[in-house]
């Protein structure tokens, strides 16, 4: 076992030229961490509350995680 950088757990991000601006979500170090922890908690059947300032992508992270994995 060894430590793996969070950023290395996500494939390289490329913007789809056909996407509208509103559909573009660029993964950041924080969003990768939140999505990873959210995924682990949901798979364990735990209730989850994501908190933070307005505009940090909490709702988008939850929606993407539910859409892609459940």
> Hey, where are the domains in the chain?
13-69
pLDDT, tens only, 6-56: 778 888 889 989 989 888 888 888 888 888 899 999 999 999 999 989 988
Residue 70 has pLDDT above 80, yes or no: no
Kindly tell me the burial class for residue 36, based on how many C-beta atoms sit within 10 Å of its own C-beta (0-12, 13-18, 19 or more).
middle
Residue 7 neighbours by CB under 8 Å, 6+ apart: 29, 32
Which of 28, 38, 30 has its CA nearest to residue 63? 38
Residue 4 neighbours by CB under 8 Å, 6+ apart: none
**pTM recorded for the entire structure:** 0.71
Residue 60 has pLDDT above 90, yes or no: no
Cβ contact 57:31 at 8 Å: yes
């Amino acid at each position: 076992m060894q430590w793996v950088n969070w950023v290395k757990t996500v494939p390289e991000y490329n913007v789809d030229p056909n996407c509208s601006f509103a559909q573009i979500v660029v993964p950041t170090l924080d969003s990768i961490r939140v999505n990873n922890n959210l995924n682990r908690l949901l798979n364990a059947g735990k209730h989850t509350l994501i908190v933070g300032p307005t505009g940090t992508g909490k709702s988008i992270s939850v929606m993407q995680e539910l859409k892609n994995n459940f």
